[in-house]
Structure 1
Amino acid sequence: MSDAPATRRERLRLQTLEEIKRHALAQIAEGGTGALSLNAIGKAMGMSGPAIYRYFPSRDAVLEALVTDGYAALTAALESAAAAATRRAPARRVEALGVAYRDWAVAQPHLYGMLFGLRPTGYRDPDEAIAAVNGSMVVLLQAIGAVVGDREAPAPADHLDRELARWSAARGYGPEVDPRTLRLGVLAWTRLHGVVGLELAGVLADMELDPVLLIEAEVRSIVAAAGGS
């Protein structure tokens, strides 16, 4: 049985929520998260301050919604890339994810910066945002796990492995993720983020370095460590 259609009031509320978020993203694109102002958004939309607070009780609530949406969009982009690369060899699927991660970030740098840049003091991602971003790591772990295959998985050996095991358990990735795959998955993300961050900051352009070549090199090193080629 399908859900009942939304009422006109519900549709208008959803439209208003989306409009508020669009204005908020525009503010962040122009001045970073510090520029986010509910009063300014209300003024731009022709709403009073008290009226806009009926939709979002605080600027952090707006930021939480934007971060959750952003993480979900990143996860969707990686899932789409993984689906498109299903017939490729496991190593090539990891490469496809690396390229997709970079392409998504470059296409919306202000959104990427909001997700992985500086946040207001005291801000913490809500559970909904963490669940949304978990999906992107799951996609990456699955791809790297396919490269690792059935090779013997060593028990967590050093302090980093133990930290990653605790983090994985807290995020609910499950015991089926072996330590090598988990370690390589997180290392892959930190390396991709490093290259993308340097590109968005203009550092690689100043150095006249091709970010795509760097992404490919980083992914190849992860694939090699996983036992692929």
Structure 2
Amino acid sequence: DVVANGGLPKWVLISLNLPEDLEVSFVERFYVGVKRACEFYKCEVVGGNISKSEKIGISVFLIGETERFVGRKGAKPGDSVFVSGTLGDSRAGLELLLMKKEDYEPFELSLIQRHLRPTARIDYVKHIQKYANASMDISDGLVADASHLSERSGVKIEIFSEKLPLSSELKMFCEKYGKNPLEYALFGGEDYQLLFTHPKERWNPFLDMTEIGKVEEGEGVFVDGKKVDPIGWKHF
């Protein structure tokens, strides 16, 4: 969320709700991962809270800094719609995990890692700060999140399916299991790539960004000219 708004992570607050009989080693292992993440993103844990509970609960609050805040409101007719990276990999990785296979092929392990260890796109922060009119991360699925951006900006978003960036691993997965990769790219969630809009000429060839559509006057999300319902993860 911080990166999608054009910010860099700086300070972390962690609140833990822990059962009384939980082994200390669990907390130690948890903070090994926290330390690695903080070192990677160059941020630090500065506080938080701990309390007793029946079940494990972990809440993380992150504070970042930005020279220019970019939110979901601001997409303009005439903007192009861009995404970072590839789409649909995380959903495929989750489905592979749920299969509970004894052996996975290398491309399957790669998809599983993209589900278990998503990476915040800090390499895009300067670009988002400088050029984006609207921006958000893709956590609920491309269509669902595009609908959030459309609603907040009061515009229509047109997506062209042939332009969606698909990884070779996702294509192999879909070929092996008889799936449609476009369904994963459009409606799969938890990729944590970026969805943003700005004029087409601001495209940066040094980033793995793909132009997937355009912003027009109107409302709603359209794929190849047809309006689609915002199917995806719903928080409530």
TM-score of the alignment, normalized to the shorter chain, above 0.5 = no
Structure with greater strand share of residues: 2
Considering Cα pairs closer than 8 Å and 6+ residues apart, tell me whether 1 or 2 has the greater RCO: 2
Q: TM-score, normalised by structure 1?
A: 0.26
Q: TM-score, normalised by structure 2?
A: 0.26
